[in-house]
Amino acid sequence: MRLIRRPEVLKRCGFSNSTMHRLIKAEDFPSPVLLGIRAVAWVEEDVDAWIRERIDGPDDD
Give the pLDDT confidence score for residue 59 in this predicted structure.
Answer: 66
Per-residue pLDDT for the chain (61 aa), expressed as one digit of tens each?
A: 999 999 999 999 999 999 999 999 999 999 999 999 999 999 999 999 999 999 998 765 5
Reported pTM:
0.84
Give the pLDDT confidence score for residue 60 in this predicted structure.
Answer: 59
Please report whether residue 29 resides in a domain. yes
Contact 32, 41 (CB under 8 A): yes
Give the pLDDT confidence score for residue 61 in this predicted structure.
Answer: 55
Please report whether residue 61 resides in a domain. no
Helices 6-13 and 44-56, interaxial angle, to 10°?
10
Total structural domains within the chain: 1
Please report whether residue 11 resides in a domain. yes
Please report whether residue 20 resides in a domain. yes
Distance CA 59, CA 14 (A): 23
- Among 57, 47, 53, which Cα is nearest to 24's? 47
Please report whether residue 18 resides in a domain. yes
Q: Which range of residues forms the domain containing residue 19?
A: 3-56
CB atoms within 10 A of CB 10: 14
Give the pLDDT confidence score for residue 19 in this predicted structure.
Answer: 96
Distance CA 22, CA 30 (A): 12
